[in-house]
Structure 1
């Protein structure tokens, strides 16, 4: 099996890829590689035409997919089987969206109803006047809510949400300064309810409430966790604990009770629309043949660049201010999921895994990093994300310039420009993909996130790795705990000197 797979990857590596200009000489290039999906929130165009995907490469990738049992692994994912083999559990984030094993979908619906009841009680004033929520979490427990709140609730939020993740007290202090303890709730988001950064910040939030004159500070706390007993033991009333299933991983948890701040800011109807947008992509990914599947096509292109063309990074640029946090969100999703050096069965991976995901916001990035994209020595595939309808009421010229720049960058990367002056020559043949959303709303944001989740999953299956564990984050955390406890002898001289210089020597 390993030898056959190695041979298939060798076939992909040996392909002589035409230039993008040569690929566009094929008459049906655009119709083949650009597809519009009519989704609950509106139309989304997935345009992969300006990538180096073409029939010869796809034929090999389909054979690799068959050898790695992609269709079967997809079924296992959606049916709630133990696909996260290293931790012995399922990965049931799709069940949160209503697409999964029937029992898990029913459980998710019941937990969502519990969350809905609490959200509506807060909106109706049954917990007193609530103007603000400080949402405390880290990793997936914070990145997802922060992205959704920033994208969807910049104006008109029913409750102002402040997301705090960093253990640096400056982050928590900034939230405190923006809120009144008398009208603020605290959400503590932690799957285990033991995460050091989160629980330390939560304790400081309790102290802030108490010092601010709140008689029962723990009564102002909502716990979002897969360990409800630990939340109650910590001091949260069990009526204000919103559980989620152990089979929902942290970076996939926005669809669960971790989405509470989104529901509180938008109203539960908005959160329900977010779920339905994700479910629509679930159905497309599950039901559409591999050759026509926008999720699979994106993953295939990613693999062309990492496995055949030697690309070590992938850039993501959102040409919409509301999607400023999307590159950060995708960094965790892709690099924590697929940044592995062993296969799911424990063998050393014999080829590159995930690329480094990075990016920014257009048009800012054009004046910072696009020099390297156009004329540097690195080949870096780029994803552009844009929204047809602006998120503001200013002169339409703002949005016209924004979108013109987005589309011009993709065209320029592909076409390049010759010049007798080498410093002014652009080599071209540099790939990009573009996702164009008709309107940014809760449903389309849900679709975008689910699309990237499944894209990450397909790449993982093709490489034979498990995208649902993250043991690589543990070692540094364990050593930090040793230092905090006054232990951890035997550090290298540099680390010991740094600890001494900082006044925290062990």
Structure 2
């Protein structure tokens, strides 16, 4: 906590508050305040209830956290993003994924240009294309209807669309959507074995159109396609680019009419709302995709306009900051009590850790405090039978977010959903309050008479947020994603880092290009890396078939 935080008045006040309450138990806060839930929960437009009452904090903690947010001027930074200022300083760019889900009757001027005109034009192109594919008007080169869509992309070009399509499975139509991301040839072979090339379309998704894994996979499919049919002129019927680099896409062989634009101010991990979401639109239709955007816009407006004390993303970010800096919580668990969200944690993992996994602050100074927590988790109730043992009785301090939906879209076996939600409620209660009967035995000095009680003791005091939606639908998924985007952005403001670049992924990619060239050569390599890398390459050469 050197330098940056120590200079903040309310950080020092928070530290004093932390020393006062750090040994309090969550149950103590509830015993002392019968209205705690009402004070520490927010109803978001009758779409979602956000309950943060099961946290290790008192009224003063919240008050001082909110004062701290004012002190560091979170709202001022939010206004910079929403007005199009270049807050991505290291890449000299604006960050405007929020514009992609604005009211399309509104205007948004960037460099004196109304970007909403281009956004609407892009969306209209997506709408017309998806409509024609879904209803069978558009056909492949053998005049057969399209049955399969293959999205070739990695990182934000895969994780977001794949997660949303999984979450909105109940809204999907007849089209089968596949995601090819890994450079592992097994990923490519598995997909090619599932599809018929004559009835499949391929999206090459890369903002720069230089992403190695994406272009490598695309080249392999192109080669396979041309070899199988030996008719290159039919390539334009089946291959499309989603990119900001029009020239590179055309150079690859993509017809310029087949290019869907990614705007330069849209970051990869924030691009699901853009043409990168075309595979989603094809899967759930234009109207449902618009509802998805509409839900995100509702949360955008809440984030932009709502005061600190009722602002859900800001409160979420302050809670994370509280545990990260004061309690030294190195991880956060995201626990989704809906099988439809089985890919959500992986998506948030990238969103959080790629955004805030930085070790240099905005002033170019080395950071001496923890930045991004390690994000992990799973799907309830499965995870209750795997890692919940550690949450309940382990030695790690792990704050949790629990997410679920009261109504799902399937009435068949509806009692299962009641069981699911009873577990959701039970686990947040058990983690917070522990086993009260064991505590009573301690007071009665019966604790040590039966050693089995030692192993049955649940201390509790594991903090959690409950995020409970009324329904699972395109709108609520839009709300959920936007909420976490803004939480992570707010965390970056608090931590005094740039959240919208990701230079840390470059070194490994550059080294792999060099090593790849050496692995391709059969002759002995004189180049020296280090004893470990050289030794591993030696075994590669020896064992390679």
TM-score, normalised via structure 2 length: 0.88
Alignment partners' CA distance in 2, 1:197 and 1:307: 37
1:499 corresponds to 2:537: yes
Q: 1:384 deviation in Å? A: 0.8
1:52 match: 56
1:37 matched residue in structure 2: 44
1:401 corresponds, among 408, 419, 442, to: 419
CA contact (8 A) 2:166 2:340 kept: yes
2:329 to 306, 311, 321: 311
Query: Aligned match of 2:279 in 240, 261, 279?
Result: 261
Cα 1:291–1:166 change in 2 (3 A) is: same
1:108 aligns with 2:112: no
Structure 1 contact 52–301 (Cα < 8 Å) conserved: no
Alpha-carbon offset, residue 154 of structure 1: 5.5
Question: Which of 479, 499, 503 is 1:467 aligned to?
Answer: 499
2:240 is aligned to 222
Q: Is the 8 A contact 1:188 1:223 kept in 2?
A: yes
- Cα RMSD between the aligned structures? 2.0
Task: Provide, for residues 245-299 of structure 1, a one-character-per-residue CA deviation record: whole Å limited to 9, x for no partner.
Answer: 1110000000000000000111111111110010000000001001111111111
Runs ≥4 residues deviating over 6 A: none
Q: 1:267 to 1:155 in 2, by over 3 A?
A: closer
Query: What is the aligned counterpart of 1:481 among 506, 510, 513?
Result: 513
Matches within 5 A, 1:213-252: 213=229, 215=231, 216-252=234-270
- In 2, the alpha carbon distance for the partners of 1:335 and 1:395 equals 38
Map 1:8-23 onto structure 2 (within 5 A).
8-14=10-16, 15=18, 16-17=20-21, 18-23=24-29
The answer to whether the 8 A contact 2:153-2:214 is kept is yes
Give 5+ residue unaligned stretches, structure 2: 140-144, 439-446, 448-452, 519-524
Deviation at 1:501, TM superposition (A): 1.2
Q: Which has the larger displacement, 45-54 or 58-67?
A: 58-67
Out of 477, 480, 483, the residue aligned to residue 448 of structure 1 is 480
User: Pairwise mapping of residues 172-211 of structure 1 onto structure 2 (< 5 A)?
Assistant: 172-211=188-227
Aligned to 1:141: 157
In 2, Cα distance between the equivalents of 1:349 and 1:144? 30
1:250–1:19 Cα change, 3 Å: same
**Aligned-pair distance for 1:140?**
0.4
Report the Cα offset of residue 7 of structure 1: 5.4
1:73 — aligned with what?
Answer: 77
Look up the match of 1:84: 88
Task: Using the TM superposition, name which of 49-58 and 354-363 deviates more.
Answer: 49-58
Q: How far apart in 2 are the matches of 1:212 and 1:327?
A: 39
CA distance in 2, matches of 1:154, 1:98: 25
Paired position in structure 2 for 1:370: 388
Question: Is the partner of 2:395 in helix, strand or coil?
Answer: coil
Q: Residues of 1 paired with 2:301 and 2:245: CA distance?
A: 30
| Structure 1: distance between partners of 2:49 and 2:115 | 31
User: 2-side partners of 1:118 and 1:250: how far apart?
Assistant: 22
Cα displacement (A) at 1:390 = 2.7
SS at match of 1:436: strand
Give yes or no for contact 2:5–2:11 (8 Å, CA) kept in 1: no
Task: Report if aligned partners of 1:181, 1:212 keep a CA contact under 8 Å in 2.
Answer: no
State the 1:212 CA deviation.
4.1
The answer on 1:411 being equivalent to 2:429 is: yes
Match of 2:293 among 262, 265, 275: 275
Q: Pick closer, same or farther for the CA change 1:291–1:182 going to 2, 3 Å.
A: same
CA contact (8 A) 2:8 2:71 kept: no
Measure, in 2, the Cα distance between the counterparts of 1:155 and 1:443.
Answer: 12
Rounded to whole Å, the distance in 2 between the matches of 1:154 and 1:192 is: 33
**Aligned to 2:266, what secondary structure does the other structure show?**
coil
Q: Aligned pair 1:98/2:116, yes or no?
A: no
Answer yes or no: is the 8 Å Cα contact 1:342–1:465 preserved in 2: yes
Partners of 2:168 and 2:5 in 1: CA distance:
49
Q: What is residue 450 of structure 2 aligned with on the other side?
A: none
C-alpha separation in 2, matches of 1:6 and 1:499:
51
> Could you say which residue in structure 1 is the equivalent of 2:7?
5
Q: Which moved more, 1:343-352 or 1:245-254?
A: 343-352
- How many pairs align? 502
Deviates more, 1:328-337 or 1:153-162: 153-162
Question: CA–CA distance in 2 between the matches of 1:214 and 1:94?
Answer: 44
Offset at residue 2 of structure 1 (A): 3.9
CA distance in 2, matches of 1:267, 1:488: 56
CA distance in 2, matches of 1:276, 1:87: 29
Partner residue in 1 for 2:306? 288
**Deviations 1:409-436 (Å, cap 9, x if unpaired)?**
0000011015332111011111111111
Show the counterpart of 1:328: 346
- TM-score, scaled to structure 1: 0.95
Shift of residue 63, structure 1, vs aligned partner = 3.3
Q: Secondary structure at the match of 1:138?
A: coil
Q: Deviations over 1:431-467 (max 9, x none)?
A: 1111111111111111100000000011110111111
Retained in 2: the 8 A contact 1:343–1:466?
Answer: yes
Q: Quick check: 156-165 or 135-144, which moved more?
A: 156-165
Moved more, 64-73 or 189-198: 64-73
Unaligned 5+ runs, structure 1: none
Greater CA drift, 5-14 or 476-485: 5-14
CA distance in 1, matches of 2:122, 2:172: 26
Kindly provide the CA deviation profile for residues 87-128 of structure 1, in whole angstroms up to 9, marking residues without a partner as x: 111111000111783423333222212221222232343431
Give the 3-state SS of the residue equivalent to 1:388 in structure 2. Answer: strand
* CA displacement at 1:356 relative to structure 2: 0.3
Query: 2:441 maps to which residue?
Result: none
Instruction: State the 1:493 CA deviation.
Output: 0.8
For 2:220 and 2:4, locate their aligned partners in 1 and report how far apart those are by CA, in whole Å.
52
Residues 289, 476 of structure 1: CA spacing in aligned structure 2 closer, same or farther, 3 A cutoff? same
